[in-house]
Amino acid sequence: MELDKALTVLNLLVPEATDLILKRYNVLRTIKNCQPIGRRLLAINFGVTERVLRSETDRLRELGLVNIESTGMSLSELGERLINDTEMLIHRVKGLSEVENAIQERLGIKKVCIVEGDYEQNNIVKKDVGRKAAEIIVSLLTDNMRIGIMGGTTMALIANEIRASKKFTNLLIVPGRGGLGENLEIQANSIAAKMAHNLGAEYKLLHVPDNIGPDVLKALQTNTQIKNVLDEIKKIDMIIFGIGTAEEMTRRRGLSEIKKDELKMKKAFAEALGYYFNKDGAPVLHTDSVGIDLSDLKNIRHAICVAAGASKAEAIYSFSKYHKDYTLVTDEVTAKEILNIK
C-alpha cells in the first residue's frame, strides 16, 4: 500500500492519530534542539502545565525515544534516528510536498524546501530552517568549491548549524558583500568565518563597510587584499542569501534620510544581495558597498535563498520575478502566504 493511501486509511480509522503524531513530533523536535532540557522549560515552550506534558514525556521514555536524567531530557539514539523519519512523515501528513510543488510552479524557480511551522513565532522553527538549509548546502559541496554567503540572522543560523561528515579539499568561504552597520555576529564576514570553521574550510574576509561614498569605494577596490577577495567572489560556485523587505533593510543598514526618500520614490519593495527591487522585480537601487553583482548570478551554479517569515512572502514573490534559477528554503506559514498572494 502506498504511503499516501495508508495515511488516508489511518485518518479514516483513527482520525486522532494525526494530531498525536504531530504533538509527539513537536515534543521530540523541541527536545532535540534544546537538549538537555527540563520538563518545566519544555512545558513553558508549549504553553501547557508540567502535569499535562509529563504524560507525553513519560510515554516517549517508555518507547525508548527519550532519556530523562537530572540534567534534563535528551533524545536517545533511537529517538535521534526516528525524528528524521518522522519529519518526512509530517511533510506528507501536512501536504507540504504539494505546497512545495505549487510554489515552485507559481514562482517558476528551481526548487522549494519547506520546514514545518511558523518561523516568526517559534525559535525551534528558526533553528530547523537553518538546519534544513545547511543540509541542502552540504549535499551540494564538492572539492575545489568557492562559496559566498551574505549577512543576516538567518545566514548566522545556517553557519551555526552546518556540519559535514567529510572534509572537502580546497573549500573556500567568502562573504558575499562588505559589512553591514549592525551586530558583528550577523555580518557576512563573521558568518563566513563561522561557516568555514564548522566545515574545516578556508576563508577570506572583505573589510569594506556599507554606506560609504563612491570615491572611497573606488579607492578601496585598488587595495591588493580587497581586490584579491573580490576576485574570489567573482568565481564563486554557490551563493547563499536571504530576501527581506525594503523597509526592514533600510532600518538594518541605517540608511540616511536621503537614501530612504530615494527608495520610496523608486517604490523599492524587496532587498536581496545588496540590491533593492520594486514589486515587479526590477532592481531600482544598490547599496554603497562591494561584492557580488547581480550580473554574476547567471554564472553561479548553485543559488540558495533562505528566507522565512510571513512578512517576507511578497518580497520573495517580487524577487522571483527578477531571478528564477535558485532554491528557496522557507517555513510552512510563509509558503502558504506566498500562495495567497493575488
CATH of residue 305's domain is 3.40.50.1360
And the C-alpha cell for 213? Answer: 561614498
Q: Which amino acid is at 288?
A: D
Q: Are residues 231 and 219 in the same domain?
A: yes
pLDDT > 70? residue 210: no
What is residue 277's three-state secondary structure? strand
Q: Are residues 39 and 169 in the same domain?
A: no
Q: Are residues 156 and 263 in the same domain?
A: yes
The count of domains in the chain is 2
For residue 75, the model assigns a pLDDT of 96
CATH of residue 79's domain is 1.10.10.10
More confident residue, 316 or 9: 316
Domain that residue 324 falls in: 96-339
Among the ranges given (8-12, 257-261, 317-321), the one the predictor scored with the smallest mean pLDDT: 8-12
Q: Are residues 157 and 48 in the same domain?
A: no
And the C-alpha cell for 141? Answer: 559541496
And the C-alpha cell for 240? Answer: 547563499
In sign, the C-alpha dihedral spanning 247, 271, 190, 123 is positive
Q: Are residues 78 and 142 in the same domain?
A: no
pLDDT digits (tens, 9 = 90+) for 114-131: 999 999 998 999 999 999
Q: Are residues 81 and 195 in the same domain?
A: no
For residue 224, the model assigns a pLDDT of 84
Q: Are residues 85 and 184 in the same domain?
A: no
Q: Of 77, 93, 109, at which residue does a domain stop? A: 93
For residue 92, the model assigns a pLDDT of 85
For residue 201, the model assigns a pLDDT of 97
And the C-alpha cell for 320? Answer: 522571483
More confident residue, 31 or 217: 31
Q: Are residues 122 and 188 in the same domain?
A: yes
> CA-CA distance, 149 to 162, in Å (whole number)?
13
Enter the pTM of the model: 0.90
User: What is the distance of C-alpha 57 from the center of its chain?
Assistant: 30
Q: Are residues 166 and 219 in the same domain?
A: yes
Mean pLDDT over 17-36 rounds to 89
Q: Are residues 161 and 181 in the same domain?
A: yes
**Phi/psi of residue 198, each to 5°?**
-70, -20
Q: Are residues 84 and 100 in the same domain?
A: no
pLDDT > 70? residue 73: yes
What is the full DSSP assignment across 40-71?
HHHHHHHTS-HHHHHHHHHHHHHTTSEEEETT
Please give the DSSP secondary-structure letter assigned to residue 272: E
Alpha helices, DSSP H, located in 142-245: 153-161, 188-199, 214-220, 224-233
What is the full DSSP assignment across 181-192?
SS-GGGSHHHHH
Residue 123: count of CB within 10 angstroms of its CB: 12
Q: Are residues 193 and 304 in the same domain?
A: yes
> CA-CA distance, 181 to 240, in Å (whole number)?
20
Q: Of 44, 73, 93, at which residue does a domain stop? A: 93
Q: Of 93, 111, 134, at which residue does a domain stop? A: 93
Q: Which residue has the cell 543540509?
A: 135
